[in-house]
C-alpha cells in the first residue's frame, strides 16, 4: 500500500489522481471530485496532500470523522472510488 501511495505522489495529479488539503475540514470540492470520478473511469483522492504532492497528514481521529461524514453523503457507487488510507 505504501508503495502505491508513493507512486501516486510521484506521478502527481492527473485524470485519475487528485490531491486535496483537508486540515481545515472536509474540502468543499471533495464531493465534486468524487462525482467527476464516478462519471468517468474512477480515480483516487489523497486527502491532506498539497497540489505539489507534499503530505500534510491528518490525525487518525479526523480521518475517521471524514470517512463517517463521507459515508453519509455519498452514494454506494461514489463510496467505491473514495479510499481512506492511514499512515
Is-above-0.75 flag for pTM? no
Q: Return per-residue pLDDT of the chain as tens, 87 residues.
A: 689 889 999 999 999 999 988 777 778 888 888 888 888 888 888 888 889 998 887 777 777 776 676 666 666 666 555 555 444
Q: How many CB atoms lie within 10 A of CB 48?
A: 20
Q: How many CB atoms lie within 10 A of CB 58?
A: 20
Provide the β-strand partners of residue 44: 17
Handedness of CA 27, 28, 29, 30 (dihedral sign): positive
Amino acid at each position: 500500500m505504501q508503495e502505491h501511495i508513493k507512486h501516486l505522489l510521484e506521478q502527481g495529479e492527473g485524470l485519475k489522481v487528485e490531491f486535496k488539503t483537508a486540515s481545515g475540514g472536509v474540502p468543499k470540492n471533495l464531493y465534486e471530485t468524487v462525482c467527476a470520478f464516478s462519471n468517468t473511469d474512477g480515480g483516487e483522492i489523497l486527502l491532506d496532500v498539497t497540489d505539489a504532492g507534499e503530505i500534510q497528514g491528518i490525525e487518525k481521529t479526523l480521518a475517521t470523522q471524514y470517512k463517517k461524514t463521507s459515508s453519509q453523503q455519498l452514494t454506494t457507487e461514489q463510496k467505491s472510488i473514495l479510499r481512506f488510507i492511514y499512515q
